[in-house]
Structure formats: structure tokens, C-alpha cells
Chains A and B, each alone.
Chain A
Amino acid sequence: MKSRSSLLLAILAVAAIHLAFAQGERMTLHKVVEAGSAFSIQSVGSGKAELYIIGPGQVLKRDVQLGEMTSFATGSLYNAGHYLAVLAGGSFTETGSFDVLAASKPANLSFLAKPSRLPVGLHDGITGAVYIFDGYHNLIATPTPVSFELSTSSGAMQKHAAVSSNGAAWTAMDSTSEQGADHFVARIGDVSSTRIVAQVPGDPCELTISARQVGEKVQLTTAPVRDCHGNAIPDGTVVTFTESYSGAQSTIDAPLKHGIAEVTMPVRAGATFSVASGVVMGNQIGWNK
């Protein structure tokens, strides 16, 4: 029974070696090496040879003594990829191949947040895509949990969780009701990347005007113009005042200044004054004096 167990163990060990190494006539390679980690290549025979490690990410060369182990120190081979090992002696050349895979620990995030500026209160208005890299800037393709956070200056926070697939993860978030610079953060453990997303007021909401006679004219003034979330509409936004009388119309465009717009229009009996900004209509005032 003991000998059978030993045999089984031996078979398993042999199988493991076959899985882990690529065995050539003159050299033995690990099939997989983690980026940046130390590894070695065993050669057999005697005499001197040159060992080339060649891949799209790096090319290395070592003078080797056949029969000895050639060691590559930590950090010597760090770009992920498929590599060819070429052992060139005076009378022979032998090749083998192995893969260098990205390290499992994320070290860098490339975080793409769009747009950089948008109105408040938009559903799924902000999108973020993140690519996950190791310390050598190799894309980590293994699924990795990613946390996305969008926080306003007042501390309100939206949080989404995602798992990366093939090195990428994404999310979509609503813009908040508060104007200002929001912090959009992608985080994996202690690695994070932050983007600033500017939220600006939306369209004016509940546009209202008041009127008062000034001599022969009437002065029209808006109430402080705000969006539907109470954010002040920025100065410079155009407000259009319209006077309708006897089948005719006069319009004046005035920019917001200190949050309000103000114009003076001629007085005509039976005139109606109205106001609009963008697609938003305000109240109307009839003038019968």
C-alpha cells in the first residue's frame, strides 16, 4: 500500500513537472513566469553558450556555462508577453518558449471619466472606465473588484462596485443635484485614481418677471434665476423678454447679471410682457395702463 502511494506521488510529481516546465534537450524552462519575479533556466551539457530571451517587451542575453543554472534576478524580466529562449552554442542552437504574465497586484489605474463637465441631475450622465495595470504597466487580465465613488463638495457620495473583465471595468453614475467640482474615484484596495467632474446648473426653472413703470417706460426684472435643483444659473445666460401688442412683437435679449436680468421697454396700452430662457417659458404680465 505504501509503495502504491509512493508511486502515485511520483506520477503526480512527474505530471506537475511536465505542466510547469518546458523540457528541451539542453535547457529546462518554466512555462510561466510572473512579471518582475526571479526565475532561472537550467542547461545541460558542458562548454559555453549564449542564452537569449526574446520577446516583444524585452530582449536579454546571458553568457552561460552549460550544465549550470542561469538565474535572472527580480525585476530583470518584467514586461508581460510570450518569450522565446534561444540557447546558442558553438555547434547547436536550441529554442524554447515561455510566458511572462502580469503580476497579480494592481499598482496603476488608468481611469477615463467622461464628460469633464455636465449639468446637474442627469441620469447615468457620468461614465468611467478603468484599466488595471501592475507595477510594470502590464494589463492585469484576471477579474479584480473595483470600487467607483462620486462625491460632492458637501460630502454626498454615490458608490458603485464592479469586477473587471479582461483588465477593464466601467460604471455609469447620475450627476448630483449640487453644482460644483465632484471627485470621481476608481479604487482597488489602496490604489486609486481621481478625476474631477464639474457639475454646472441645468436649465432655468420657474422663470418669473415683475414689472414697474418708470416714466414712459416699463422696467421688467426677473427674480433670481435658478435651475430646478436651486442652483443659481450663471451670469451671462441670455433671457429673452417679449412685448406683444396689437398683433406685433418686440423682443430684447438680456444676459443675467448678478443672477437677474433686467430690461426697459416702451409702454403700450394692452401690451403683454413675457419672458423665456432657452426652452423655459416664464410668466406673462398684461399692461392696461
Chain B
Amino acid sequence: MRALKFLILSVGCAATLNSYAAQVAVHVEPVNLQGPRPLEDQSKAAVVRDYIRAWQSFDAALGQNRPELLDADFVGTARDKLSDTIQQQAKLGIRSQYQDRSHDLQILFYSPDGNYDTARNCSLPRRIDSGRSEMEGAGISIGTRVMEIAKSPDPASNISERVIERATGTRRITRKSTKRERERARERARARCCADF
């Protein structure tokens, strides 16, 4: 039995934020805020920008097994968890890459003092992931944006292609979903996302 040296889950990573944004469709759902404070346009733009950047860092760090690439966009527990994952990957000789074809982002919570917000991606598998987080020792962090990304339960809507490669390169398994499958999955995820509220 040969060990998996490289495991690539989905493909796609962009070199710069601009090209990344051009490559990845980011759809921002109408703001449905829980909280007393209206969301300023600048803050809304910053959430989307930070979210995309966090995905970029996440892709790069897990794809190259370099935890230091997380530093710009992840702090606290979120960074620690991802860093642990990278160490586990490195120990097993694995690296992973996440391909994000599209994001349906909905901003859900904006704290009364304007320092924290919560957004979720309706087109990703349900889980709580994180962008920036400085909530450890809460109450002392100032001006840091917290981005919690809650994903919807359907993995197919986001991951459109999955490639698994053997180290020797002799075996390559590709599963590519059709355009229709992807559209239907996206519609399901969006419907579920909106139904939750």
C-alpha cells in the first residue's frame, strides 16, 4: 500500500486578490442584521474583502503546509486550530487545497459598538469556520473584525471539482460535477440559507 503523499481537494488558487476576486464569484445577500447598528458601506466592503483574503490565506497555508501564511488574516483560536491542522497534514505528508468557485455571503450580525461582525457563506458546507478572531480574552480587543463563516450543509455547492493525486503521479482520480449539478446545488444552498431566517 502506498501512502498518499499529496491530497488535493478541489483545485484553484489565485495569486492576487484582484485575480482571485475576478475568478471567484462573490455574491453578497441582502443584509439581514441582528443588532441595533446599521452596517456602513465601508464596513460591508471590508467584510467581503477580509473574507476573500481569509480564504486566500487559508488556501495557501493548507496547500503549502505553511502556517505563517495564516498570520495576516487569522488570530487567536481560529489561527491555532488551522495551524494544528497544517502540522497534522505535514506529519502525515499531506497537503490540501480548497477550491472556492463561488460564495454567497450574508452578513448577519454587527455588534453595537461596530467592532465585530458575523457573516456566513450560504454556499459552503455547514460548519463554523473563522476568519479573523480575537475573541480570546474578550473585551480587550479593539478594532478587530471578527468574521465567522457558517456554512450550509451541502458540500456539493461549493466544491465543483475534486482531484486526488498519488505521490507517484501514476494515479489520478477526478470527479467533476456538471454545470447543472452545480447550479442546482447552489440554488438549494441559497434557499436553505434564506429559509433559516
Contact = CB atoms under 8 A, between A and B. Distances in A.
Given A82-B151, A127-B111, A139-B150, A56 B129 contact: yes
Contacts of A90: 1-2
Contact of B7 (A60, A86, A99, A195): A86
B120 interface: yes
B115 A167 contact: no
B1 A172 contact: no
| Interface of A (DSSP majority class) | strand
A168 B138 contact: no
Q: How large is the interface on B (under 10, 10 to 19, 20 to 34, 35 or more residues)?
A: 35 or more
B109 to A, nearest CB: 5
Nearest to A90: B1
Contacts, number: 146
Interface stretch (A46-54, A204-212, A265-273): A46-54
Interface in A67-103: 79-82, 84, 86, 88-90, 93, 95, 97, 99-102
Interface in A229-271: none
B74 to A, nearest CB: 11
A168 B117 CA distance: 10
Interface string A90-123: 1001010101111000000011111110000000
Interface in B60-111: 62, 77, 81-82, 84-85, 88-89, 92, 94, 96, 98, 108-109, 111
Contacts of A79: 81, 85
Contact of A89 (B1, B7, B125, B128): B1
B40 interface: no
B84 A58 contact: yes
A45 to B, nearest CB: 13
Q: How large is the interface on A (under 10, 10 to 19, 20 to 34, 35 or more residues)?
A: 35 or more
B118 A167 contact: yes
B131 to A, nearest CB: 12
B155 A93 contact: no
A56 B125 CA distance: 12
B155 A97 contact: yes
Nearest to B84: A58
A141 B150 contact: yes
B116 A54 contact: no
A193 interface: yes
B44 to A, nearest CB: 17
Given A54-B89, A59-B88, A170-B36, 17 more contacts: A56-B58, A59-B96, A80-B128, A81-B125, A81-B129, A82-B151, A90-B1, A99-B153, A102-B128, A111-B138, A114-B113, A129-B116, A131-B146, A139-B128, A139-B150, A166-B34, A166-B120
28 contacts: A50-B4, A52-B4, A52-B92, A54-B7, A54-B94, A55-B85, A56-B129, A57-B85, A60-B88, A80-B127, A81-B127, A84-B9, A90-B1, A93-B171, A97-B125, A101-B127, A110-B135, A112-B111, A112-B135, A129-B113, A139-B130, A141-B128, A166-B118, A167-B118, A167-B128, A167-B148, A168-B108, A170-B35
Interface of B: 1-4, 7, 9, 34-36, 58, 62, 77, 81-82, 84-85, 88-89, 92, 94, 96, 98, 108-109, 111-113, 115-116, 118, 120, 124-130, 135-136, 138-139, 141, 146, 148, 150-151, 153, 155, 162, 164, 171, 173
